[in-house]
């Protein structure tokens, strides 16, 4: 079995961006059996930057593209995240224009015969995915700039304690375990720890290990040498790429048990080998682990190695949900709006303060982005957030 075979045993992720309800329904019906489709993001650029796991490719219609993805954003995403785009267009005169604006993208005309179009779409998506084994590409400083995260921004006693703990933990070189609800800011906290640590001048990588097979997780972490398995090439893994830097393993509770065993050995010996190699390499990387699961319960169920848990649960930080520091909502919302060159009225702030935010900071960020995309006003009002009422 080749690595490509292993990858396609998973339902590869495709991001679909369109406001056309009929096109949305048709694409989803044609691809859902073969791919994991994610849709309904109002801002393609922010959705891709904030994705917990990058897609294999991006499927986008012409009209949505013109509103949601400017050329400079496309170039950044295409060149930095190495994502492939497939554009759907309705009119022939759009093709020449888009080819000039978005080089290296693929285009499909949706005015062709529906039967052949269905087969063409499936074939092209398969082709693009096969060219990009980076369906699990780790993210290296791809996120937007962090919200301010230090004790000077604390708006409550509990958050002041949290920020100071982050600073103290950053000075150590021991593994860090970040616990907290989805969207609460664990990745923000991890990057803050990196920027305050002795590793701050080194690289920062994050990898979401959820849903990765053992084979793919191993190759991404340890790297490979040519001939290690069918189609294997010489490739450095994250343990090499993140040397003298920081590596965040997100959703660590979902890490395959076989990989857990090998990870424990790396933590104990500070050495590792590429898959298929006998040469030992030095391991000098700050590891941060994040999860919203109860690792002790998973260990009792035999789903997580207890000895690994004890090894990574050295410095534990609980990242509080947004509802426990609601006084930060105005500051965070204004910061997110400012990234889009927008401001928030007092009534908009009141509307945001009235919501419970079960999705925490990530949901707040996405909702502010949605309002910025859908509103033509420079200053957003409560009416621009009527979808949260």
Q: List the beta bridge partners of residue 247.
A: 205, 287
Whether the pLDDT of residue 132 is over 60: the answer is: no
Residue 159 shares a structural domain with residue 307? yes
Residue 131 shares a structural domain with residue 164? no
State mean pLDDT over 294-321.
96
Per residue in 81-126, pLDDT tens? 667 777 766 555 555 555 566 666 777 666 554 455 566 666 666 6
State mean pLDDT over 45-71.
66
Question: What is the domain extent for residue 344?
Answer: 323-388
Residue 177 shares a structural domain with residue 310? yes
Residue 215 shares a structural domain with residue 110? no
What is the C-alpha separation between 56 and 106, in angstroms, rounded? 14
Of 280, 290, 299, nearest in space to 251 by CA: 290
Cα dihedral 29, 34, 38, 43 in deg (nearest 10): -90
Residue 116 shares a structural domain with residue 51? yes
Of 133, 114, 89, 91, nearest in space to 30 by CA: 114
pLDDT at residue 58, rounded to an integer: 81
CATH number of 87's domain: 3.40.50.2300
Residue 295 shares a structural domain with residue 352? no
State mean pLDDT over 33-45.
64
Position 143 in a domain = no
81, 108, 136: which is the final residue of a domain?
136
pLDDT at residue 388, rounded to an integer: 83
pLDDT at residue 230, rounded to an integer: 63
Position 146 in a domain = no
CATH number of 332's domain: 1.10.8.60
83, 101, 136: which is the final residue of a domain?
136
pLDDT at residue 207, rounded to an integer: 87
Position 144 in a domain = no
State mean pLDDT over 237-257.
93
Residue 102 shares a structural domain with residue 174? no
**pLDDT tier at 212 (50, 70, 90 boundaries)?**
confident
- Work out whether the CA dihedral 334, 340, 345, 350 comes out positive or negative: negative
Residue 61 shares a structural domain with residue 181? no
Position 261 in a domain = yes
Contact 283, 322 (CB under 8 A): no
CATH number of 288's domain: 3.40.50.300
pLDDT at residue 26, rounded to an integer: 76
Domain count, the chain: 3
Per residue in 267-303, pLDDT tens? 999 999 998 888 999 999 999 999 999 999 999 999 9
Q: Please state, for a pLDDT cut of 90, what percent of the chain lies above it.
A: 40
Residue 14 shares a structural domain with residue 86? yes
80, 110, 136: which is the final residue of a domain?
136
Q: Which residues contact 291 (CB under 8 A, 6 or more apart)?
A: 177, 178, 179, 250, 251, 252, 253
**114-131 and 21-31 are packed helices; what angle lies between their axes, rounded to 10 degrees?**
60
Whether the pLDDT of residue 6 is over 60: the answer is: no
> What is the radius of gyration, based on Cα positions, of the chain?
22
Residue 254 shares a structural domain with residue 371? no
Per residue in 12-24, pLDDT tens? 678 888 777 777 7
């Amino acid at each position: 079995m080749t690595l490509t075979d292993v990858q396609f045993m998973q339902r590869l992720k495709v991001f679909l961006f369109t406001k056309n309800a009929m096109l949305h329904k048709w694409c989803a019906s044609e691809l859902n059996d073969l791919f994991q489709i994610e849709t309904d993001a109002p801002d393609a650029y922010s959705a891709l930057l904030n994705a917990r796991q990058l897609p294999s490719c991006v499927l986008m219609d012409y009209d949505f593209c013109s509103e949601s993805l400017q050329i400079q954003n496309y170039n950044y995403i295409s060149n930095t995240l190495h994502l492939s785009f497939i554009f759907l267009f309705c009119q022939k005169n759009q093709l020449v224009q888009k080819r000039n604006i978005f080089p290296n993208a693929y285009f499909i005309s949706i005015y062709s015969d529906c039967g052949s179009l269905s087969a063409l779409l499936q074939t092209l998506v398969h082709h693009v995915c096969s060219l990009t084994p980076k369906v699990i590409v780790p993210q290296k400083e791809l996120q937007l700039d962090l919200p301010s995260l230090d004790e000077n921004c604390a708006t409550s006693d509990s958050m002041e304690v949290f920020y100071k703990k982050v600073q103290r933990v950053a000075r150590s070189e021991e593994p860090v375990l970040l616990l907290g609800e989805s969207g609460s800011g664990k990745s923000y906290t991890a990057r803050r720890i990196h920027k305050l640590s002795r590793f701050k001048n080194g690289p920062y990588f994050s990898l979401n290990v959820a849903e990765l097979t053992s084979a793919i997780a191993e190759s991404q972490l340890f790297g490979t040498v040519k001939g290690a398995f069918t189609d294997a090439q010489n490739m450095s893994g994250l343990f090499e790429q993140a040397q003298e830097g920081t590596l965040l393993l997100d959703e660590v509770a979902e890490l395959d048990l076989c990989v857990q065993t090998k990870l424990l050995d790396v933590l104990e010996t500070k050495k590792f080998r590429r898959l298929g190699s006998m040469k030992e390499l030095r391991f000098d990387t700050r590891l941060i682990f994040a999860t919203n699961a109860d690792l002790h319960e998973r260990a009792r169920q035999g789903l997580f190695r207890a000895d690994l848990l004890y090894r990574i649960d050295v410095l534990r930080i609980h990242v509080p949900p947004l509802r426990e520091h609601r006084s930060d909502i105005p500051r965070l919302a204004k910061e997110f709006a400012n990234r889009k060159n927008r401001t928030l009225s007092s009534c908009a702030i009141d509307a945001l303060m009235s919501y419970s935010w079960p999705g925490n900071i990530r949901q707040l960020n996405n909702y502010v982005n949605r309002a910025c995309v859908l509103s033509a006003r420079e200053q957003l009002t409560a009416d621009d957030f009527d979808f949260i009422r």
